[in-house]
Amino acid sequence: MARRSRNRLIVPGAEQGMRQFKAEVMRRQGYAVDPSRPDDVKYEVARELGVPLTPGGDNGNLTTEAAGHVGGQIGGTMVREMIKLAQQQLVDQQRQ
């Protein structure tokens, strides 16, 4: 049975912006990202990590650890970038 993500964005309408942010961050990491389908980058990340994640296939054989490696690679990269952006905003505010 497929699980639905429990992650919910607090700001209504932010989904598109987050998808664009993910695409840009992962593109800068060297991944080929289709801007209209940025979530598909997980398959490229999985291949790189040796995780047998297949599009549209039965991925029920994946361990939680393997799936976590893929999600962690993507999410961790996005969080690091968000922290850099926030730090830069603080520096910019102090200069004003």
Predicted model pTM: 0.78
- Confidence (pLDDT) at 5: 62
Q: Any alpha helices (H) in 8-63, and if so which ranges?
A: 15-28, 41-49
- Confidence (pLDDT) at 25: 94
Neighbours of 26 (CB within 10 A): 22
- Which residue ranges make up each domain of the chain? 15-95
- pLDDT tens readout for residues 20-71: 999 999 999 999 998 888 889 999 999 999 999 988 878 888 999 999 999 9
What's at 58, amino acid-wise? D
- Confidence (pLDDT) at 1: 44
Q: Which residue has the higher pLDDT, 74 or 58?
A: 74
